[in-house]
């Protein structure tokens, strides 16, 4: 059979196969993953001050007896805000006591990480945005080994960014650009993630401020991301995303809630998430909710 005739005969079959494969890929992308059984049970809450406790929080293990730290508009030092760094996100602390706050400003080509060392000294590390990188700097999560730090962007994203942990990883310096080292490739899109924290070397819990609910079938979800390997800064890893539950949305006012930062305290096994109330009630009944594994 001439080759040209064979190609004409095969073309309809190939076209149908390509169309079927494309449809299958689109269906897989569009369909939200089934929500996992809720393994985190609410056990209590504390009022979250709208000025100093409305953006993020973290537990600090070193030195022993250190209080939990919070961030909000009222925690930004004047010397930082006057230089344009007017938004602070959800912080984290390494197990050796380095505390990191993420900062952004309204415009420009950089984001900043402010670090407090165990000896109490502060330093700043600036990261020049990469191609296509969003300006937002909503949160940081430090790996259990302390060497790597994850960060996220606002909006609908299919990745998390991996950096060497400023002040901890010896490859970092306040006088040099903090480079992106690798990427976490997510198998499902996430939206408006406000905070993440490591539970194990390969598992993250994240708070999402998603107002739409189209990705997982619920708004303001608590997400779990299981990594294919612990981040090491030399290669990308993948992340499997699961929606665990909707965060509590209770207030004396009606309107839009805002899910904020998250913290997992490995000493007590307690998960804490800030949810800011709508309207006037932002002043009265915004909460830091506490959960334990059920």
CB 5 within 8 A of CB 259: no
Residue 133: strand pairing partners: none
Band (246; pLDDT cuts 50, 70, 90): very high
> What is the token pair recorded at 209?
């401020």
> What is the token pair recorded at 95?
């197990």
Query: Across residues 138-142, what is the average pLDDT?
Result: 98
Residue 197: strand pairing partners: 205
Closest to 92 measured CA to CA, from 198, 15, 9: 198
More confident: 19 or 106:
106
Structural domain boundaries in the chain: 38-293
CATH of domain 38-293: 2.120.10
Q: Specify the pTM.
A: 0.87
CB atoms closer than 10 angstroms to residue 177: 12
Tens of pLDDT, residues 117-139: 999 999 999 999 999 999 999 99
Query: Across residues 248-257, what is the average pLDDT?
Result: 97
Nearest 10 degrees: CA dihedral of 162, 222, 270, 274? 90
Q: Per mean pLDDT, which range of 34-43, 209-218, 235-244, 269-278 is the poorest?
A: 34-43
In the chain, % of residues over pLDDT 70: 87
With a cut of 90, say whether residue 22 has pLDDT above it: no
Classify 188 as helix, strand or coil. strand
With a cut of 50, say whether residue 85 has pLDDT above it: yes
Q: What is the separation, in whole angstroms, between the first and last Cα of the chain?
A: 67
Q: Alpha-carbon torsion 150, 152, 156, 159, what sign?
A: negative
């Amino acid at each position: 059979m001439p080759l040209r005739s064979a190609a004409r005969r095969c073309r309809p079959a190939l076209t149908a196969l390509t169309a079927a494969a494309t449809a299958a890929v689109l269906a897989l992308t569009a369909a939200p993953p089934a929500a996992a059984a809720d393994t985190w049970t609410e056990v209590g809450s504390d009022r979250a001050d709208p000025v100093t406790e409305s953006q993020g929080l973290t537990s600090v293990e070193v030195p022993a007896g250190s209080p939990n730290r919070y961030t909000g508009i009222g925690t930004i030092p004047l010397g930082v805000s006057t230089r344009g760094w007017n938004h602070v996100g959800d912080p984290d602390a390494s197990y050796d006591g380095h505390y990191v706050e993420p900062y952004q400003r309204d415009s420009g080509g950089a984001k900043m990480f402010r670090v407090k060392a165990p000896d109490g000294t502060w330093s700043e590390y600036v990261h020049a945005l990469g191609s296509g990188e969003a300006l937002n700097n909503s949160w940081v999560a430090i790996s259990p080994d302390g060497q790597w730090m994850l960060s996220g962007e606002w909006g609908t994203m299919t990745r998390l960014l991996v950096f060497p942990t400023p002040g901890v990883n010896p490859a970092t310096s306040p006088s040099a650009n903090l480079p992106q080292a690798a990427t976490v490739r997510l198998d499902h899109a996430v939206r408006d993630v406000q905070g993440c924290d490591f539970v194990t070397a390969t598992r993250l819990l994240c708070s999402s401020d998603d107002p739409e609910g189209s990705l997982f079938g619920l708004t303001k979800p608590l997400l779990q991301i299981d990594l294919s390997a612990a981040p090491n800064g030399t290669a990308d890893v993948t992340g499997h995303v699961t929606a665990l539950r909707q965060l509590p949305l209770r207030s004396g006012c009606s309107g839009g809630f805002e899910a904020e930062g998250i913290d997992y305290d490995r000493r007590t096994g307690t998960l804490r998430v800030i949810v800011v109330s709508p309207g006037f009630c932002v002043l009265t009944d915004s909460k830091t909710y506490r959960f334990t594994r059920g």
